[in-house]
Structures are given as C-alpha cells and as structure tokens.
C-alpha cells in the first residue's frame, strides 16, 4: 500500500511536536512536507494553516497534521476550507473515529495537553484507519455547503 503524502504545520506552541512528528514519520518512510512554522517564536497560526489546507483541498497532499497549544485555533481555521475535515484528537478512539466515521483529512493535535509519544500514536492510528463509508458517507457528504 502506498503511504500518503503528509502536510504538517504548527504555530509556535506546536513547533517542538511538529519537528518530533516529522522526524518519526520520515523515519517510517512517509513523504512529509513541512508548512512551518520554522522556529518557536510567536506566530499567527492562520499563516501556516491556510496554505496547508489549500494543499489538502487541491490534493497536492493526501492528509495533514496541524499542531498548536489546544488544537482549537488550527482546527477552526482549517475547517473554513470546503475540502477539509479537520478533527481535534486527544485520545486513541477519537483518532480512529475521526477517520472511520468522519473521513477527516487533517488531524489536529493539542500540544499542551498530550505527550509527544501520545501525539505520534494518535497520528499512526489516524494514518492507518480507513473511512468506513456506508451510512457515514451520506453524513459526510452533507458537511460542505
């Protein structure tokens, strides 16, 4: 099975987690495109979320990972894009259900509330879980306006 192309981005609060996740994913053979930020200096997360989300919409990238302190800001911003379904994940079951039932294409990680190891575990679950389809397809198809 071909591994998905992954877009990854963060703000300053997620910078350390972004680098950690990127390194682990590359070591596992994933193609990872880093959309920034490139330092722990304070930044505005929409400056990084919008380009990543456009890449998902245009299918330049297959899936995305966004990280900020709470994951709320990046998720709200990403979900402004019609072709994006960004899910905040803080537990393994949520990572699985985001893909299984919601066909999420971006996982949003709350760096201030989980460990780096948990984040990687949730990303792995997210990447390895397929959309179930069936009754969920009708619901997902009603999301975009």
CA dihedral 69, 50, 102, 136 (to 10 degrees): 160
Q: Which two tokens stand for residue 23?
A: 């390194």
**Are residues 121 and 90 in contact, defined by beta-carbon separation less than 8 angstroms?**
no
Please give the C-alpha separations between residue 97 and each of 11, 45, 129, in angstroms, as whole numbers.
25, 26, 9
> From the DSSP assignment, how many helices (H) and strands (E) are in the chain?
6, 5
Kindly name the residue from 12, 68, 81, 108 that is annotated as catalytic.
68
Distance (Å, rounded) from C-alpha 2 to C-alpha 14?
A: 28
Catalytic residue among 33, 101, 108, 136: 101
What gap in Å lies between CA 15 and CA 21, rounded to an integer?
10
Residue 68 bears catalytic tag: yes
Catalytic positions, written as ranges: 68, 101
């Amino acid at each position: 099975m071909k591994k998905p192309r992954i877009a990854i981005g963060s703000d300053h609060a997620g910078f350390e987690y972004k680098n950690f996740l990127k390194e682990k994913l590359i070591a596992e053979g994933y193609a990872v495109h880093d959309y920034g930020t490139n330092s722990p200096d304070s930044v505005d997360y929409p400056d990084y979320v919008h380009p990543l989300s456009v890449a998902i919409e245009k299918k330049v990238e297959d899936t995305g990972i966004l990280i900020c302190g709470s994951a709320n800001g990046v998720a709200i911003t990403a979900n402004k894009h019609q072709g994006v379904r960004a899910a905040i994940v803080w537990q393994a079951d949520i990572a699985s259900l985001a893909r299984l039932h919601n066909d999420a294409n971006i996982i949003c990680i709350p760096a201030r509330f989980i460990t780096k190891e948990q984040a990687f575990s949730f990303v792995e679950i997210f990447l390895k879980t397929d959309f179930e389809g069936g009754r969920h397809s009708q619901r997902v198809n009603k999301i975009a306006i």
